[in-house]
Amino acid sequence: MNKKDMGSENMQDKTILTGIQPSGVITLGNYIGAVKQMVRLQDVVKKSYLFVADMHAITVPQDPKELHENIRSLIALYIACGIDPKKNVIFLQSDNPYHASVSWLLECTTPFGELSRMTQFKDKSSKNVNFSAGLFTYPVLMAADILIYDADYVPVGIDQKQHVELARNIAERFNKKFGETFKMPEPYISDSGTKIMDLLDPTKKMSKSSTNPRSVIKILDTKEEIEKKIMGATTDSEMKIKYDEKNKPGISNLMNIVISLTDETIPSLEEKFEGKNYGEFKRYVADVVVEELGKIQKRYYELLGSNELDQILEEAAKETRAIALQKFNEMKVKMGLYK
Residues near ligand AMP (CB under 6 A):
29-30, 32-34, 157, 190-191, 195-196, 205-208
Q: How many CB atoms lie within 10 A of CB 196?
A: 24
Q: Is 195 a catalytic residue?
A: no
109 binds, among ligand TRP, ligand AMP, none (CB under 5 to 8 A by kind): none
Q: Does 254 bind ligand TRP (CB under 6 A)?
A: no
Nearer to ligand TRP, 45 or 200 (CB): 45
# chain residues binding ligand TRP, by CB under 6 A: 12
Look at strands 15-20 and 47-52 and give their pairing. Answer: parallel
The residue (of 32 and 75) whose beta carbon lies closer to ligand AMP is 32
d(CA 214, CA 53): 28
Which of the following is catalytic: 4, 46, 177, 208?
Answer: 208
Residue number closest to ligand AMP, CB atom? 33
Rounded-to-integer distance, Cα 339 and Cα 337, Å: 7
Distance CA 32, CA 35 (A): 6
Q: How many distinct helices (H) and strands (E) make up the chain?
A: 15, 5
Torsion, CA 35, CA 40, CA 41, CA 45, rounded to 10: 150
Distance CA 230, CA 199 (A): 7
Does the annotation count 240 as an active-site position? Answer: no
Q: Which does 146 bind (CB under 5 to 8 A by kind): ligand TRP, ligand AMP, none?
A: ligand TRP
**How many of the other CB atoms lie within 10 Å of CB of 246?**
7
Binding site partner of 154, from ligand AMP, ligand TRP, none, Cβ cut-off 5-8 A by kind: ligand TRP
Nearer to ligand TRP, 156 or 324 (CB): 156
User: CA-based Rg of the chain, rounded to a whole angstrom?
Assistant: 22
Annotated catalytic residue 339: no
Pick the catalytic residue from 36, 47, 87, 124: 124
Distance CA 227, CA 224 (A): 5
Question: Of 11-19, 219-227, 276-284, 325-333, which part binds ligand TRP (CB under 6 A)?
Answer: 11-19
Return the residue of 28, 146, 147, 199 that touches ligand TRP, per CB under 6 A.
146
Considering only residues 84-143, where is the footprint of ligand TRP by CB under 6 A? Answer: 142
User: Which residues touch 90 (CB under 8 Å, ≥6 apart)?
Assistant: 50, 51, 75, 78, 79, 83, 312, 313, 316
Q: State yes or no: residue 327 binds ligand TRP (CB under 6 A).
A: no
Residues 14-33 binding ligand TRP (CB under 6 A) are 17-19, 21
Annotated catalytic residues are: 124, 205, 208
Residues that bind ligand TRP (CB under 6 A): 17-19, 21, 53, 56, 142, 145-146, 154, 156, 160
